[in-house]
Amino acid sequence: MPVTPNDDIVEISRRCDFLCMALASAEDDVKTNPTKRYMYLCKASGERPNHTFLHFSKGTCGTRLDLHRAYLSQRAILPILLTLPFCPWLEHINLREERLTTTLVELLCESLRNLPCIRTIDVSMNPFGSFGVQALLRLVLRKRSIMDCYVGDAQSVGSLLRRLQMACERNRRDAVDVEEEEEEEEEEGEEEGKDAFSTLPVKCPGG
């Protein structure tokens, strides 16, 4: 993966491999339960759990994960990224000012790619570049549920930023079209119901 300033791809890859190997020996319920998984990965990484994410991982604290200014180190954010795929209720994630490099943004995209409800991603004010924006663009093109993806002053070429914005706009338009189609189908169903009712005898036989 391409390297951006402050990006240690070798160290991040090594840490990911270490955590995945540690997880391989865990019990099955630890692997699939988000809270247990996160706690296990934090212990293996030697990091204190982030309370915001710990509460979010329980699935009872809403659909928005706000880690803005949580000041997570690279070692501390990896357990979060490796747990996110098991949080299908996630709709909005805020990772502004978390020193995300290109490698971490690419890992984030991998973590979000199969989540069914993800709608908003905010990774503004992070030191990643064009390859990070490319990863986000691929994610938005793949996940039609994503309506907004904020990258702020990412160190990227303007054409990529415009394509990312256009992809989000397309997803928003598609969502509106689907909603309008569903409303039309509901109205047609109601009209058909009324027509069927109007064909019934005024007085039922035997009534």
- Return the structure tokens found at 188: 């047609």
Q: What is the pLDDT of residue 201?
A: 52
Q: What is the pLDDT of residue 141?
A: 98
Q: Residues 16-36: pLDDT tens digits?
A: 999 999 999 999 999 999 999
Q: Average pLDDT over the chain, rounded to whole?
A: 89
* Domain range annotation of the chain: 9-182
Q: What is the pTM of this model?
A: 0.83
Work out the average pLDDT over 78-95: 98
Q: Residues 147-204: pLDDT tens digits?
A: 999 998 788 888 999 999 999 999 999 998 877 777 777 766 666 666 655 555 545 4
Three-state DSSP state, 132: helix
Write down the CATH superfamily of domain 9-182.
Answer: Ribonuclease Inhibitor (3.80.10.10)
Q: What DSSP string runs through 35-102?
A: HHHHHHHHHHHT-PPPHHHHHHTTT-S-SEEE-TT----HHHHHHHHTTGGG-TT--EEE-TTS---H
